[in-house]
Amino acid sequence: MPELIACLPGDGIGPEVLEQAVRVLEHLPVDVEVVRLPFGGAAIDATGEPLPAETLAACRASRAVLLGAVGGPRWDSGAVRPEQGLLGLRRALDVYANLRPATQGDVDLVIVRELVGGLYFGARGVRDDGTVFDTCEYHPDEVARIVRRGFELARGRRRSLVSVDKANVLDTSRMWRRVVDEIAPGYPDVALRHALVDSFAMELVNAPETIDVVVTENMFGDILSDVAAAVTGGLGLAASASLGDAGPGVFEPVHGSAPDLAGTGAANPAAMLRSLALLLEHGLHRGDLAGVLAESVDAALVSAPTPDLGGNATTKAFGDAVLASLTKEEAWTTALS
Ligand code: NAD
Ligand code: IPM
Ligand code: MN
């Protein structure tokens, strides 16, 4: 029986980069069935909802979800927004652990972002006087499960963990710090430190090579992961894996729908292809193929750079280069056997 891979193209450059990932996936020696489903703004246009029930059902039934990007100016003023579909999907699948690796040269770090709580999911509204509010809420159990993920990941890497918060101001951050300190004795082999998000943002820019694993709440992780991407070559390169305790993970680039690039053929599909590599590793447990694909993407960055990298390769030409490199790879035949 083939494994079902739910593919959600979404909006803007989402479908353009996802198409390259599907080409590569279908070329790989894995028994998968790709199902494309409406999501985001495209789904709002077709059905009125960003996450139609059929799309969510297919995602739940899948081995893994591969997602392009959602959003765009067309839907920014509507009552229903594409981004609500993305948040709804993450919450429905309870993929609370969002791993966002950033590597380049001697920089090799991973941001472990809490993905289904905090400010993006708290109570919100408008008071009679016109005041608008969003609230940041966390239960200690929600903090504990993501913090454990951070420690576990650090344990398998350079054994260094930074927990990022704003404990000098926020009660949620003070609770976060307390939970981290309660869990830390279970990981005596991991060097832990706490950092405040504002100065840590500076550290991430100034000394990224000193950072191994970062664990942080939803909004801080959202912002810091774009910073980490910028430090390591740009959003065109940054991939992510969103994992729960069971069930399908969601694999998507860190970048958005890039309305400024949509339709030009200039989008860099590397972030999407690296997200496919994360799917191979975490979703299909084929770390061998993930490694081969990651190498082929690295080779294409040199042989077919897209405009964001100073080259002039198109999205499709980059995909062609990855496929050509995969076919050449010696390791590839080994992986096949
Ligand atoms: P963005 O990430 O779409 O783009 C930021 C900048 O990076 C733009 O200049 C863009 O051209 C560039 N860029 C992004 N991806 C690129 C790629 N693959 N290759 C080359 N350049 C790339 O962020 P934005 O412009 O702030 O947001 C646009 C829309 O995307 C918004 O509607 C936002 O809500 C949405 N968004 C969606 C996701 C997602 O679906 N996961 C993530 C972030 C933003
Ligand atoms: C991301 C995006 C999303 C987020 C938006 C589009 C809801 O910025 O994946 O980083 O905030 O998580
Ligand atoms: Mn973001």
Tens of pLDDT, residues 184-208: 999 999 999 999 999 999 999 999 9
Residue type, 251: F
Rounded Cα gap, residues 254 and 225, in angstroms: 8
**Cα–Cα distance for residue pair 198/279, rounded to 1 Å:** 32
Q: DSSP assignment of 233-284, as one string? A: T-GGG-EEEEE-SSS-EEEEESS---TTTTTTT----HHHHHHHHHIIIIIS
How far apart, in whole angstroms, are the C-alpha atoms of residue 87 and residue 117?
10
Ligand 2 contacts CB of residue 66 (under 6 A): no
Asked if 11 and 70 count as a contact pair (C-beta separation under 8 A), the reply is yes
Q: What is the pLDDT of residue 299?
A: 97
Copy the structure tokens of residue 87. Answer: 């948040």
Q: Whose CA is nearest to atom 32 of ligand 1?
A: 71
Across 75-104, average pLDDT = 97
Give the DSSP H or E segment for 223.
Answer: helix 218-231
CB 203 within 8 A of CB 195: yes
The DSSP bridge pattern shows strands 213-216 and 191-196 to be: unpaired
Q: Strands 160-165 and 191-196, how do they pair?
A: parallel
Same fold, 1-95+244-337 and 99-236: yes
CA 47 to ligand 3 center in whole angstroms: 25
Percent of the chain at pLDDT > 70 equals 98
Ligand 1 pocket at CB < 6 A: 13, 17, 69-72, 83, 86, 235-236, 252, 255-261, 267-268, 271, 308
Is 176 a residue whose pLDDT tops 70? Answer: yes
pLDDT band at 328 (very low <50, low <70, confident <90, very high): confident
pLDDT at 293 over 70: yes
- Return the pLDDT at 26: 96
Tell whether domain 99-236 is in CATH 3.40.50.1220: no
The C-alpha atoms of residue 23 and residue 269 are separated, in whole angstroms, by 12
Tell me the domain boundaries of the chain: 1-95+244-337, 99-236
Q: Which of the four pLDDT bands, split at 50, 70 and 90, describes residue 303? A: very high
Question: What one-character-per-residue DSSP string does 102-117 give?
Answer: EEETTEEEEEEEE-SS
Q: List, by residue number, the catalytic residues.
A: 120, 166, 198, 222, 226
For residue 240, give the ligand 2 atom closest to its CA. Answer: 9
Give the HSE-up count for residue 85: Cα atoms under 13 Å, Cβ half-sphere.
Answer: 33
Q: What are phi and psi of 233, to 5 degrees?
A: 115, -5
- pLDDT attached to residue 335: 55
Please state, in angstroms and rounded to a whole number, the distance separating the CA atoms of residues 95 and 220: 17
- Rounded to a whole number, what is the distance in angstroms from the first to the last CA of the chain? 19
d(CA 236, CA 267): 7
Q: Which ligand is in closest contact with the Cα of 95?
A: 2
Segment 262-267 shows an average pLDDT of 98
**For ligand 1, atom 44: residue with the closest CA:** 256
SS3 for 139? coil
Containing 298, the helix (H) or strand (E) segment is helix 287-303
State the pLDDT at residue 336. 54
CATH of 1-95+244-337, one of 3.40.718.10, 3.50.50.60, 3.40.50.720, 1.10.260.40: 3.40.718.10
Q: pLDDT over 90 for what percent of the chain?
A: 97
pLDDT value at position 333? 56
Average pLDDT over residues 201-219: 98
The whole-number average pLDDT for the span 130-146 is 98
The predicted-structure confidence for 83-93, as pLDDT tens digits, reads as follows: 999 999 999 99
Q: What is the pTM of this model?
A: 0.97
- The C-alpha atoms of residue 323 and residue 16 are separated, in whole angstroms, by 16
Q: How far does residue 76's CA lie from ligand 3's centre (Å)?
A: 16
Q: What is the mean pLDDT of the chain?
A: 97
How large is the average pLDDT for residues 272-292? 98
Residue type at 279? L
